[in-house]
Structure 1
Amino acid sequence: MTTDDCIIVGGGPAGLTAAIYLTRFRLRTRLFDCGSSRASWIPCTRNHAGYPEGISGNDLLARMREQADKYGVERQDARVERLTPEDDETFTVHAGDQTYRARTVLLATGVVNHRPRHLTPEVHDPAVARGLLRYCPVCDGYEVTDRKVGVIGTGDHGMREALFLRSYTRDVTLIAPEAEHALDPACAAKLDDAGIARINGPCGGYAIEGHQLAFDTARGRMAFDSVYPALGSRIRSRLAVEAGAKATDEGCLEVDDHQRTTVPGLFAAGDVVKGLDQISHAMGEAGVAATTMRNLLSEQRPLRR
């Protein structure tokens, strides 16, 4: 079995950035992409530097794939099921019914956003494409300036997202996803001070109505220009944790300043490390990880032309 220098798990901005770096370091690099990058859901990002008119997530990913392919990455459309560290400073990677070996591994598996219950794909997907449903106020809060915005969430997390969006528009409503709000007095006081309305759930009956996303609440049917679910996310760190890497209680992988996990030779970059939900941040971490991987391999065996 051929041993790759590097295997990358994840085909989003972090994984593809690492692939570009590693192949340009002239390392034998294989990338596994199961096709679930959250970047593909972005209809148009306008805060990614270098694209003053914005660029869709799919177009950005396509350009990055083309760039990685140009330098010789072995890119495979497959889901990695298991990762096993071996005694001889290599890893065995299991994808489908195939196994692969690598001297180093980078996990760029990201996170999965929790979606509102009862929101079907038939409504969810076109709502995201039209900007009626948004998941990252840091990315696109500017686009909802002076619009009518709903935030589905409660507790401290829901409050913080509603307050963040209040800096863009006066018309923000926080809707509990299931029943009554779970807000302590301090949260409630901050919302009241900001003039943010609070509505109890449950939420359901989602539909696109004209240019708004509408749904049922305890106060009746409501419609918004944009809706932000503030329901948290699931961090896709299982592969690393099962391989022995340490993670926080929330599931974020613990890494050092060079993106090294607690398992030698295993690296991580992007939202699987810290769910900042920013493409630029994920790409920066990937560049650091790839350079460190190259230097580690050079220490083990001189890299010479």
Structure 2
Amino acid sequence: MDGDERELDCAVIGGGPAGLTAALYLARYQLKVTVFDDGLSRAAAIPFSHNVPGFPEGIRGVDMLSRMRDHALRYGAHIAKTFVTGVSRIGSRFLVSVQGRQIEARAVMMATGVTDRRPKMPVALHDAAVSEGLLRYCPICDGYEVSDRKIAIIGAGSHAYSEALFLRSFTRDLWLVSPEGDFDLSKREISSLKQLGVQLVAGPMIDITLSGKSIRIAGAGGVFDYDAAYPALGCDNRSGLAKMVGAELTSDGCIKVDKHLRSTIPYLYAAGDTVAGLNQISSAVGQAAIAATAIRNDLSKQVLLCR
């Protein structure tokens, strides 16, 4: 690990856009901050994004994260590429457990994000499909790129229904593929989709392969090629560390925060996808700026920060 991390002003857990933005702000506030990055940021899997402000030609996720790391490092933040295995509270301090040791911090910011639920397919094939833009996880990010193309949504229930309504504004050639068999939709929802021209393909889904520039989905309803597919299977919030230290979570596992991104535990903050809201780079960056400023202001009440 870089630097003396035994006594931090703030430990930032998560090296995605939220965590790195918070580190930049905290470092420029002249606080001692380390980002603990386990390398699992969802942003790293973005093959090319065109909705990050300031990059009209688009930018790869790994390149964006590299730029953000360099920016934070320039102002004195440290980045430790390691897993955090635990967080505990001792008096007014936190103990962050990494690599068999504990690091003390006055404050902790959780930027741990979420994990997408993937369709059943080999990891290498999945990653290749994502890299080629044939498997996509965020219609908010890239619905524009699939305009007027043949698109499949893999999923069932209310989440898949909402995603179908959202994507229908980009293309008429939209298909909802049930992965297990039942669409788990009401008669009203099914009627609504049919009125919109959404094709319903009953499962179970048997296989997913790549065929040239298409993604091929085989199932009980037949074999079809699509220009791209969106898994609408939900995601799992990586809020376990916050729960470990006693923070209150929402019903869907997000870390509960106030308008300044403070959790229910004093000096524990959260920003990005692990907080309820729009899972977007821009909103994560904004939340991180708010959280970092709250951290600076809250810590200044403990010890005068004037030079």
TM-score range, shorter chain: over 0.9
Report the counterpart of residue 91 of structure 1 in structure 2. 94
Number of aligned pairs? Answer: 303
- In 1, the alpha carbon distance for the partners of 2:263 and 2:101 equals 25
Residue type matched to 1:69 in 2? Answer: L
What is the DSSP-based 3-state SS (H/G/I as helix, E as strand, rest coil) of the residue aligned with 1:106?
Answer: strand
- In 1, the alpha carbon distance for the partners of 2:124 and 2:206 equals 14
Deviation at 1:296?
A: 0.8
Report the counterpart of residue 222 of structure 2 in structure 1. 220
Report the counterpart of residue 267 of structure 1 in structure 2. 269
Deviation at 1:154?
A: 1.1
Residues 124-148 of structure 1 show CA distances to partners (whole Å, capped at 9, x for unaligned) of 1111011100000000000000000
User: Does the alignment pair 1:101 with 2:104?
Assistant: yes
Report the counterpart of residue 289 of structure 2 in structure 1. 287
- In 2, the alpha carbon distance for the partners of 1:105 and 1:249 equals 23
289, 292, 303: which one pairs with 1:301? 303
Give me the TM-score of the superposition, normalised by structure 1: 0.97
What is the DSSP-based 3-state SS (H/G/I as helix, E as strand, rest coil) of the residue aligned with 2:129?
Answer: helix
Residue type matched to 1:304 in 2? Answer: C
Report the counterpart of residue 147 of structure 2 in structure 1. 145
Structure 2 vs 1, CA of residues 24 and 296 (structure 1 numbering), >3 Å: closer, same or farther? same
177, 184, 188: which one pairs with 1:182? 184
- Structure 2, unaligned stretches of length 5 or more? none
Report the counterpart of residue 32 of structure 2 in structure 1. 28
What are the equivalent positions in structure 2 for 1:26-65 lying under 5 Å apart? 26-65=30-69
Deviates more, 1:14-23 or 1:270-279: 270-279
- Structure 1, unaligned stretches of length 5 or more? none
Deviation at 1:221?
A: 1.3
- In 2, the alpha carbon distance for the partners of 1:229 and 1:275 equals 19
The answer (yes or no) to whether the contact 2:12–2:35 under 8 Å persists in 1 is yes
Report the counterpart of residue 131 of structure 1 in structure 2. 133
115, 122, 127: which one pairs with 1:120? 122
What are the equivalent positions in structure 2 for 1:230-241 lying under 5 Å apart? 230-241=232-243
Deviation at 1:204?
A: 2.8
The answer (yes or no) to whether the contact 1:148–1:225 under 8 Å persists in 2 is yes
The answer (yes or no) to whether the contact 1:207–1:213 under 8 Å persists in 2 is yes
- In 1, the alpha carbon distance for the partners of 2:197 and 2:217 equals 22
Residues 177-201 of structure 1 show CA distances to partners (whole Å, capped at 9, x for unaligned) of 1123211112112101211011111
Give me the TM-score of the superposition, normalised by structure 2: 0.97
Residues 221-261 of structure 1 show CA distances to partners (whole Å, capped at 9, x for unaligned) of 11110100000000000101111100111101110000000
276, 279, 284: which one pairs with 2:278? 276
Residue type matched to 1:129 in 2? Answer: S
- In 2, the alpha carbon distance for the partners of 1:126 and 1:32 equals 28
The answer (yes or no) to whether the contact 1:152–1:229 under 8 Å persists in 2 is yes
What are the equivalent positions in structure 2 for 1:2-21 lying under 5 Å apart? 2-21=6-25
What is the DSSP-based 3-state SS (H/G/I as helix, E as strand, rest coil) of the residue aligned with 1:160?
Answer: helix
What is the DSSP-based 3-state SS (H/G/I as helix, E as strand, rest coil) of the residue aligned with 1:80?
Answer: coil
What is the DSSP-based 3-state SS (H/G/I as helix, E as strand, rest coil) of the residue aligned with 2:144?
Answer: helix
Report the counterpart of residue 77 of structure 1 in structure 2. 81
Deviation at 1:274?
A: 1.8
Deviation at 1:106?
A: 0.1
Report the counterpart of residue 162 of structure 2 in structure 1. 160
Deviation at 1:205?
A: 2.1
Identical pairs, percent: 47
CA-atom RMSD, angstroms?
A: 1.0
The answer (yes or no) to whether the contact 2:207–2:219 under 8 Å persists in 1 is no
Deviation at 1:275?
A: 5.0
What is the DSSP-based 3-state SS (H/G/I as helix, E as strand, rest coil) of the residue aligned with 1:300?
Answer: coil
Residue type matched to 1:186 in 2? Answer: R
Report the counterpart of residue 66 of structure 1 in structure 2. 70
- In 2, the alpha carbon distance for the partners of 1:255 and 1:277 equals 15
The answer (yes or no) to whether the contact 1:92–1:99 under 8 Å persists in 2 is yes
Residue type matched to 1:200 in 2? Answer: A
